[in-house]
Amino acid sequence: MKYDVCIIGAGITGAMTARKLAKYNVSVCVLEAAGDVAMGATKANSAIVHAGFDAECGTLKAALNVKGCAMMPAETKELDVPYKQCGSLVCAYSDAEIAHLEQLYARGCENGVPDMRIVGGDELRAMEPNISPDAVAALWAPTAGIVCPYELCIAACENAVINGVQFKTNFRVTNITKENGTFAVTDGNEIVYADYLVNAAGVHSDEIAVLAGETDFPMHVIPRRGEYMLLDRSEGKMANHVLFSCPSANGKGILVSPTVDGNLILGPTAKAIDDKDDTATTTDGLMEVQNGARHLVPTVNTRAVITQFSGVRPTPVYADGDITKSDFCIRISETVPGLLHLAGIESPGLASSPATGEYAVELLAKMGLSLTEKSSYTPGRPKKIRFRELSDEERAEVIKQNPLYGKIICRCETVTEGEIVDAIHRPLGARDLDMVKRRTRAGMGRCGSGFCSPRTVEILARELGVPMDTITKCGGNSVILNGGKK
C-alpha cells in the first residue's frame, strides 16, 4: 500500500506528528517495531512537562519546550488525558547554587518562560513542608506540569486512528530503498510505500537515518539510561510540586515528583550504556536514586516502593560541535529528498511533543507535501470511563448503562471489568496484560497484579475469542499459562 507519509516510530514524537498530520487530507502510516505504541523512551521517563528554562537559548529544544508546555493544557483536554499544572521548584542549598538559580532564571526569561521567580527558604517550606531543612531557595516555575507519558502517547495515537491514520505494530524497519521518488520501507515481510518518510525512531533514529540512505548524518545517538523508583500512593503527598536539585553536567539530576495518578516518582540516574535497549535496573542505580531523593526530601519512605524501572535517553552527539550539539536533531535531509528527521529527541521531548508534531507538519509542507484541511477531523478520542475517579452517583449511572462497570477486577486501582473490555475494543486495543495495564491501570497497584492478572487473562481471552493459554504478558513468548511447559 502506498501512503503520502510514513512515520517510523510510535513514541510521543511520532504519535504527535501523526495526530497533527491527521488534520489534513493526507494518507499516513506509522510503523512501530514493538507490539504497542509508547514502548521506547516515551514509556519510561520522569513524566514532567518542563517549563523550558533548562534548554540552551536559541536551540530548537528551548523553543519547542516552551511552546509545547504552553500547548499541553489544551492538548490534554482535547485528548481526555489527566494533566496537572503543579509547577516545579529547583532547590538550592548554597550561595553557589543560588547563583546557578539566577542563571536558570535568566535563561528561562530569554527562552520565554512566563511567571518564574526565585523564592526564599521560608516560602519554599510553606510550599513544600517536607523539603530538606538545608534548602535555602528555589526557582519556582508555575507553568511546569505532570502527565502520564504513555497515556498521552496512546491518546494521540487513538486520535490519529479515528482520523484515518494507519498503525502497523510489530513492524521493525530493517530496510529502506527509494525508487522513482517513492520510499519502500520493509520489515522483511511486508513493504510500505510512501512519498515522504519521517524518522522518529528514538534511540535508533541514527540507524534509521543510515538505512534511509544518509551518507553523512551529522549525529549519532548515545544511549543514557535513567533508573527510577515509583512509590505507593501513600507517599504521593510527600511533594506538591516537581522538585529538582540544581542541575549538573550530567543533567537535571534526581527529582522527586508527584504523578498524575497520585504516586511519588524518584529518579532518574544518567548512565551511558552500550545496549540501546537495555532497560535493566541496578542496585547502584537505585541507591543513587534513593540518596538523591533524600537530599531533597529526607523523610521520603523508599520502603513504599511499588516498582522500579528505567528508560533510555537518545542523547544526540554531533560531529560539528556547534550549538546543535545539545539540540534535538530535527532537520530535512540534505541528501535524501523526502526524508525528515525527528531524531535524538531526549528530554524535554515529552514536554515539547505537541509543538514538535506541529513543527514536523510545517517542515513536511516546506518539503512539498500538499496540505488541505479535512472537514471531518475530530480533535478528541472515544470517551474513557475512569471508574475510580467517579462520584457514587456517577458510578451508579455507568453501572446502570453497563453492569460490567460494577465488577471490580483490580482492587488496588479500582479498575472494573467494563474498563478492561473498553480497553480491548478501543482503537489500537489491548492484546496482552501490559497493554491492559497501560490503558486502565489494572495491575499498577501495590499487589503487583497478583490478584487481577488471572481475571484479566480470562477477559482478554473471552473478548478476543482466543484460548487463555495464548494470552501473553507483553507479546512474543511471554505466555502466562503454559501448562507447565518449560
Binding site for ligand FAD (CB under 6 A): 8-14, 31-34, 39-42, 45-48, 50, 172-173, 200-204, 208, 226, 268, 311-313, 345-351
Q: Return the number of the residue (313 or 381) whose C-beta is nearest ligand FAD.
A: 313
One-character DSSP codes across 399-467: HHH-GGGG-EEETTTTEEHHHHHHHHHSTT---SHHHHHHHH-TT-STTTTTTTHHHHHHHHHHHHTS-
Which residue's Cβ lies closest to ligand FAD?
Answer: 349
Q: What is the C-alpha separation between 371 and 361, in angstroms, rounded? A: 9
Shortest Å, Cβ 38 to ligand FAD: 7
* Dihedrals phi, psi of 339, to nearest 5 degrees: -105, 130
Of 402, 58, 341, 366, the residue nearest 176 (C-alpha): 341
Smallest distance from ligand FAD to CB 348, Å:
4
| Active-site residue flag, 50 | yes
Q: Which residues 6+ apart lie within 8 Å of 199 measured at CB?
A: 8, 9, 205, 208, 209, 212, 339, 340, 341, 342, 343
Q: In angstroms, give the least distance from the CB of 484 to ligand FAD.
A: 33
Rank residues 260 and 398 by Cβ distance to ligand FAD and give the closer one. 260
CB of 165 to ligand FAD, least distance (A): 15
d(CA 343, CA 360): 11
Strand partners, 245: 91
Residue type, 374: K
Shortest approach of ligand FAD to residue 459 CB, angstroms? 26
CB-wise, 86 or 420, nearer to ligand FAD? Answer: 86
- Measured in degrees and rounded to the nearest 5, phi and psi for residue 213 equal 110, 5
CA 9 to each of CA 6, 170, 177, 311, 439: distance values in angstroms, whole numbers, following the listed order: 10, 11, 18, 16, 19
Residue with Cβ nearer ligand FAD (46 or 324): 46
If the CB atoms of residues 201 and 398 are measured against ligand FAD, the closer one turns out to be 201
Amino acid (one-letter) located at 410 = C
Residues 6+ apart with CB under 8 A from 407: 416, 417, 418
Nearest Cα neighbor of 130 from 253, 256, 46 is: 256
Catalytic position from the list 50, 204, 241, 341: 50
Q: In the complex with ligand FAD, which residue's Cβ is closer, 108 or 349?
A: 349
Residue from 81, 98, 355, 135 nearest 243 by CA: 135
* Distance, C-alpha 271 to centroid of its chain: 19
- Tell me whether residue 143 or residue 416 sits nearer to ligand FAD (CB atom): 143
Q: Which residue, among 158, 165, 162, has the nearest Cα to 26 in the 3D structure?
A: 165
Query: CA 158 → CA 16, 111, 155, 171, distances in Å?
Result: 11, 32, 5, 18
Least distance to ligand FAD from the beta carbon of 482, Å?
26
- Smallest separation (angstroms) from ligand FAD to the CB of 327: 13
Angstrom distance (rounded) from CA 116 to CA 143: 8
Give the nearer residue to ligand FAD in terms of CB position, either 41 or 412. 41
Q: How far apart are alpha carbons 32 and 171 in whole angstroms? A: 5
Cα–Cα distance measured from residue 433 to residue 423, given in angstroms and rounded to the nearest whole number: 11
Quote the least distance from Cβ 399 to ligand FAD, whole Å: 37
Residues known to be catalytic: 50
